[in-house]
């Protein structure tokens, strides 16, 4: 079998993965007022990791991103549930949210909401689930 030559695929992937990750983080933070949110941001993140897995191989990605994605799924679900339970401490119904405006050093007047923490948990759960499914389908033993 001759040595595969995919220079173009590797070069395009190294540029495109950065763009896709940036766009998915932008989608994640846009989710409070505009289309977007934790679910689609997590799916974009997972598609960037899929592109890395396609262009390179499993061993290379495991070596450079040494994260167990099942732990990511569990911690994401835990963050989402704990955010919901946190509202019970302040005598509010389960999963109720609040927001306020703060003066941050660089951003100026910024709206910080507790729903973003819940969204972060959802994003972590989606990333972990999607990458775990893809990795366990790709295992051919």
Partner 1 sequence: MFKLILMISLFFLTLSMIVALYRVIKGPSMPDRVQALDTISISLIGGVAICSVLFHTHALLEIILILGILSFVGTIAFARFIERGVVIERKRIK
User: In the bound complex, what is the minimum distance in angstroms from residue 67's beta carbon to partner 1?
Assistant: 17
Nearest to 38 by CA among 83, 5, 91: 83
Is the CB of 112 or the CB of 138 nearer to partner 1? 138
Give the separation between CA 39 and CA 122, rounded to whole angstroms. Answer: 6
Is 140 a binding residue for partner 1 by CB under 8 A? The answer is: yes
Is the CB of 35 or the CB of 93 nearer to partner 1? 35
Stretch that binds partner 1, among 86-94, 97-105, 115-123, 133-141 (CB under 8 A): 133-141
Give the separation between CA 66 and CA 117, rounded to whole angstroms. Answer: 24
Is 36 a binding residue for partner 1 by CB under 8 A? The answer is: yes
Give the separation between CA 115 and CA 117, rounded to whole angstroms. Answer: 5
Which of 23, 70, 87, 95 binds partner 1 (CB under 8 A)? It is 23
Which of 60, 94, 99, 102 binds partner 1 (CB under 8 A)? It is 60
Q: How far is CA 121 from CA 19, 28, 42, in A?
A: 23, 11, 10
Give the separation between CA 31 and CA 25, rounded to whole angstroms. Answer: 10
Q: Which residues are at the interface with partner 1 (CB under 8 A)?
A: 1, 3-4, 9, 16, 20, 23, 27, 30, 34-36, 40, 44, 47, 50-51, 53-60, 134, 138, 140
């Amino acid at each position: 079998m001759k040595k595969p030559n995919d220079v173009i695929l590797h070069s395009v992937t190294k540029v495109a993965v950065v763009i896709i990750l940036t766009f998915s983080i932008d989608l994640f933070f846009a989710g409070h007022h505009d289309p977007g949110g934790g679910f689609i941001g997590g799916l974009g993140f997972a598609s960037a990791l899929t592109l890395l897995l396609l262009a390179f191989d499993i061993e290379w990605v495991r070596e450079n991103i040494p994260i167990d994605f099942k732990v990511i799924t569990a911690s994401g679900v835990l963050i989402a549930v704990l955010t919901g339970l946190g509202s019970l401490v302040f005598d509010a119904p389960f999963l109720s949210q609040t927001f306020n405006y703060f003066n941050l050093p660089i951003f100026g007047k910024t709206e910080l909401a507790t729903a973003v923490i819940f969204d972060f948990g959802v994003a972590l759960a989606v990333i972990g689930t999607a990458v775990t499914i893809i990795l366990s389908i790709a295992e051919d033993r």
